[in-house]
Amino acid sequence: MSVASRSATNQNIFQKMGDLRFEQTISHQCGVTMNDSVEARAIAEFMGKKPNVTVTYQPALIRIDGEGKLIFKMDEISDILGKDMTAEIFEVNTSTHYGRMVRIDDNTVTLFGNMDEVFEYIE
């Protein structure tokens, strides 16, 4: 996918400092940052097709941001990669994340932007 076609289908969530407005609101966003790789590009392309997901390509990083929550299913990711992806390998491949990351089961890693939804998973 060329840079031009990527930028046409994905929005850039970053703003210039002069354009930022600070408000006393709560964001329900969450996301991950991955080092740019063949695997990260495949995951980003797949996740970018889901509603309320924004993918931003940087020179060496790929950001996957969501509103509310992001659900990463390891079996779906394994299918698109053509090799096994485990929750452990996925977490290692994410450089960083924001929101509350919860491993629901061996197949599902979910990031929550709305902290009220996390309480049912916390013991």
The pLDDT of 102-111, averaged and rounded, is 94
Measured between alpha carbons, how far apart are the two ends of the chain, in Å?
A: 43
Residue appearing with tokens 């902290």 = 115
Q: Which two tokens stand for residue 107?
A: 């197949």
* pLDDT single digits (tens) 36-90: 999 999 999 999 999 999 999 999 999 999 999 999 999 999 999 999 999 999 9
Architecture of domain 26-116: Alpha-Beta Complex (3.90)
